[in-house]
Amino acid sequence: MPPLEPTCKSGIGTLQGMRAHPFGHQPQTEDVFRRLVESIRDYAIFLLTPEGNVASWNPGAERIKQYQAHEIIGKHFSIFYPPQDLAAGKPNMELRVAAEVGRFEDEGWRIRKDGSRFWANVIISAVRDDDGTLIGFGKITRDITDRREAELRYRLLIDGVTDYAIYSLDANGNITSWNSGAQRIKGYTNEEIIGQHFSRFYTQQDTDAGLPARVLEAAAIAGHYEGEGWRVRKDGTKFWSSVVVTPLRDEAGELVGFSKITRDVTDRKLLLDTVQQHAEELELRIAEREQTNAELEAFSYSVSHDLRAPLRAIEGFTDIVLTDFGAQLPTPAVEYLRHILQATGRMNSLVRDLLSYSRMSRLEINSEPVQVGKVIRDACAELDEAMRSKVAVSADPSLCVCAHSVTLAQILFNLINNGLKFYPPDESPHVDVNARREGGTIVISVRDEGIGIAPQHQERIFQVFERLHTADSYPGTGIGLAIVKRGIARMGGTVRVESAPGKGSTFYLSLPAA
């Protein structure tokens, strides 16, 4: 059987030289095949003799390699290879491999007629007759310079990223690409890691628990996997990584591998751990303090409660002695008994206020919509009639606040009472109560023009027993504002004061609008 004969004809006419060609015996089929090849412009498709001489030429070959059929047919195909490939004997090696195994595929630089280079994808197939005798080679060449450049640009881009480890795995989890960020973070070079299984980045514990396989499985099923965890560097040290895994599928939807992006977020993790630890310690301390407070409150409640009975006895018997035997007693004795009565009266007020302060913490306070004007009226109703006339109220009747009405009335009473009380002795007191809406908040202010409070005392007056005056100049127990502060806090509101000595004070309550 004669091998392929070179011919000057364009196309594939040389196939006539074959006793049995691959596309059947009918001349029509051969014609169709010839036309097909001749219409293809994107691929150079041509035949080589067993020695490697060009035996046919199509328009794709002419377009890509710039030779016309008559210029190239009969020439050895090594003309397309760059000098270093020729020196290495590549063209003949490729034919040898194709002859041995039937097919050879390669990518590399090839030379056009004008000497310019293009990046080619080349497939060489051995063509044999029915007896298995080699009669030549079919060669298909594609110019993929653009694709290669795009890949190169992409590669450079990926490699330029040093903050992220970006690498790919095959479907079994073996590493197929590796960027400089991966090398920086994990410590392995390209040569060391390509082909290795990615589970080597996991701790022994995680590997034993089958985590690497589960990660790939989760990514393959959900189309995406994100997670964080400890990973191991080449030198054995650990880092906290944030990982995104995406499955890679071919056009048919078949899983071909995974892309992985890993970030070293150890610093963030350690910071968060420290914050978390502090938060836990703080919570523990708060819980301890709350327990101590609760115990103290229970104690003060029972003490105040238990003090009332003996107090009543002292008061009652002193009163009886004064009433029934006052006339028989010497004047100083009567005077002393009156002192005892005064002191028990004061102690009664203290016990009463302490009890209501304790109650403010212990009682359940359920807030509900409350009309502000009505609560202010309730608070004023507790005042002496003479005092009530010294209070001016301005509140829109439509204003509603979210509060516990009894508690709010008690708070307002304490503030109004203070406003009327802390005036210079020679001045007639006057208090303005005003309510307005500020966004989602209702602000109630209680303003007087009394003695005022120096800035350095404006915080401490809200604590139990903190008073700025003696009981002689202004009576009181020093508990009223503590009740205000606790009560308003329990309803989710706040209290603050604006004041200057000699200029009066304004207390502001802020509560959620209903």
The CB-of-382 to ligand ADP minimum distance in angstroms stands at 15
Q: How far is it, in rounded angstroms, from Cα 140 to Cα 142?
A: 7
Binding flag, residue 73, ligand ADP (CB under 6 A): no
Angle in degrees, 0-180, between the axes of helices 331-362 and 266-325, rounded to the nearest 10: 150
Site map 207..246 versus ligand ADP, x via CB under 6 A: ----------------------------------------
Closer to ligand ADP by CB, 227 or 429: give it. 429
Nearest approach, Cβ of 476 to ligand ADP (angstroms)? 2
CB of 457 to ligand ADP, least distance (A): 7
- Least distance (Å) from ligand ADP to the CB of residue 501? 9
Q: Residue number with the shortest CB distance to ligand ADP? A: 476
| Chosen residue from 351, 451, 488, 495 binding ligand ADP by CB under 6 A | 451
Q: Distance (Å, rounded) from C-alpha 141 to C-alpha 119?
A: 10
CA angle 428, 498, 426 (to 5 degrees): 15
Stretch that binds ligand ADP, among 29-37, 232-240, 254-262, 444-452 (CB under 6 A): 444-452
Q: Please identify, using beta-carbon distances, which residue of 158 and 482 lies nearer to ligand ADP.
A: 482
If one asks whether residue 81 binds ligand ADP (CB under 6 A), the answer comes out as no
Asked if 433 and 392 touch (Cβ cutoff 8 Å), the reply is: yes
Q: Closest distance between ligand ADP and the C-beta of residue 498, in Å?
A: 11
419 belongs to the binding site for ligand ADP (CB under 6 A): yes
Q: Which long-range contacts (CB under 8 A, 24 or more apart) does 20-28 make?
A: 20/129, 20/130, 22/127
Q: Which is nearer to ligand ADP, 137 or 423 (CB)?
A: 423
Cβ neighbours for 281, distance < 8 A, ≥ 6 positions apart: none
Sole binder of ligand ADP in the list 409, 505, 509, 511 (CB under 6 A): 505
8 Å CB contact between 434 and 423: no
Q: Which is nearer to ligand ADP, 114 or 426 (CB)?
A: 426
- Rule CB under 6 A: say whether 496 interacts with ligand ADP: no
Q: What is the Cα–Cα distance from 258 to 247, expressed in whole angstroms?
A: 4
**Do 159 and 182 form a contact (C-beta atoms < 8 A)?**
no
Q: How many binding residues for ligand ADP (CB under 6 A)? A: 22
Torsions phi, psi for 331 (to 5 deg): -55, -45
We find the least distance from the C-beta atom of residue 469 to ligand ADP, in angstroms, to be: 5
Residue type, 91: P
Q: Is residue 450 at the binding interface for ligand ADP, with CB under 6 A as the rule?
A: yes
Backbone phi and psi for residue 409, each to the nearest 5 degrees, phi listed first: -65, -40
Percentage helix, strand, coil, to 5, in the chain? 45, 25, 25
Cβ atoms of residues 494 and 368 within 8 Å: no
Q: Which of 185, 422, 435, 443 binds ligand ADP (CB under 6 A)?
A: 422
DSSP sequence for 83-141: HHHHHTTHHHHHHHHHHHHSEEEEEEEEE-TTS-EEEEEEEEEEEE-TT--EEEEEEEE
Please identify, using beta-carbon distances, which residue of 147 and 346 lies nearer to ligand ADP. Answer: 346
Q: Which of residues 455-494 bind ligand ADP (CB under 6 A)?
A: 461, 466-469, 476-482
Q: Does 418 bind ligand ADP (CB under 6 A)?
A: yes
Task: Report, in Å, the least distance between residue 360 CB and ligand ADP.
Answer: 13
- Whose Cβ is closer to ligand ADP: residue 212's or residue 504's? 504
What is the binding site for ligand ADP (CB under 6 A)? 414, 418-419, 422, 448, 450-453, 461, 466-469, 476-482, 505
